[in-house]
Amino acid sequence: MAVSEPLVLGIESTCDETGVALVRGRELLADVTASSMDEHARFGGIVPEVASRAHLEALRPTITAALDAAGVTLADVDAVAVASGPGLVGSLTVGTAGAKALALGLGVPLYGVNHVIGHAAVDELVHGPFPERFLALVVSGGHSSLLLVNDVATDVVELGQTLDDAAGEAFDKVGRLLGLPYPGGPHVDRLARQGDPAAIAFPRGLSKGRELARHPYDFSFSGLKTAVARYLEGRADAGEEYSPADVAASFSEAVADVLVTKTLRACAEHDVRTLVIGGGFSANSRLRELAAERCAAAGVEVRIPPIRYCTDNGAMIAALGSALVRAGVAPSPLDLAVDSSMALSLVSVPA
């Protein structure tokens, strides 16, 4: 890494985490996150107004903490990157307003970047430069997306997405059905390790016949969630006992099976030999195990960042911002607007 490489400050505020990071080239200098998860837990889900207020209170101290951790000052910052979508409008607005103020005050370029693509870009800080082409599977509470990445800064093609519930969202809902604490995903994952993944034949959405032909790379987990609910209701109505661990394991297997099967199909059909998996749900143990096992058999390299980079964080935004700077992409306008449904073909907001 050359010392002359630009220093990029990244801000993440799409949902319930306020993340700030500093990246120089492909080196992460600092990554600080403030979470409002505990404030949402008592409601059983994210409350947008609560999240926005938490970002407003946390943004300035989080920026200060990141600068201190990196041993730099605002005067050293060469560019500011901020997640401008997809996400909650209020949360996005707080982070973007702060980024605009910094860029304007410092007289440096501003990049409004795509939060989802950031989940893939962060892997470059861990495993080094990306190959010429790769596939990215981004799975989280709000997104299950399959991307063909020809260049992470300039050329991303969306191959598929969830048509209803995202993988993480389905896990949270099944956790609620099983009476587990919010957020349900980690609790379902831990419970699943104690059960039999073959105990219950839960359905695999969009995986057969005409549905597969029409949606080769799309995902659907709403029907699977409903199948779990009906299974539990059926046992309750009949007065029969069931194993929560087996339910969790069989459900987890169905989700991981669909994600990995469709992703490897895309790798084969697009002649891609590298897969990057990112997003909060990439922390799921069964997804990691199944991806490693099947990718090895298919001759596909799989890259998954450490768990600390899977949930929302500033490092992913700074990493994508740094890639944009290195690629010579024009910065975004200072009057850029947030976009709660930002298209995944858009890496950054154009000038």
What is the tens place of the pLDDT at every residue in 168-178?
Answer: 999 999 999 99
Look at residue 37 in the predicted model and tell me its pLDDT.
65
The parts of the chain modelled with pLDDT lower than 70 are: 1-3, 36-38, 40-41, 43
- Looking at the domain assignment, is residue 348 inside a domain? no
- Residue 104 within a domain: yes
> The pTM is what?
0.94
Angle at 334 between CA 328 and CA 337, to 5 degrees: 105
Q: Which regions of 198-317 does DSSP assign to beta strands (E)?
A: 274-278, 301-303
**Is 249 part of a structural domain of the chain?**
yes
Q: What is the CATH number of the domain that holds 115?
A: 3.30.420.40
Amino acid making up residue 133: R
Residue 4 has what pLDDT? 76
Assess whether 237 and 148 both reside in one domain: yes
The C-alpha atoms of residue 165 and residue 181 are separated, in whole angstroms, by 19
Q: In this structure, are 99 and 150 located in the same domain?
A: no
Give 7's Cβ-side CA count (13 Å radius).
18
pLDDT at site 1? 45
Whether 319 is covered by a domain: the verdict is yes
Query: 150 and 285, same structural domain?
Result: yes
Output the CA torsion 320→324→325→328 (10° steps). 170
| 80 and 184 inside one domain | no
In a domain, 66, yes or no: yes
Based on the structure, what is the number of domains in the chain? Answer: 2
Are 302 and 317 found together in one domain?
no
The answer to whether residues 74 and 203 belong to one domain is: no
**Domain extent for 160:** 132-307
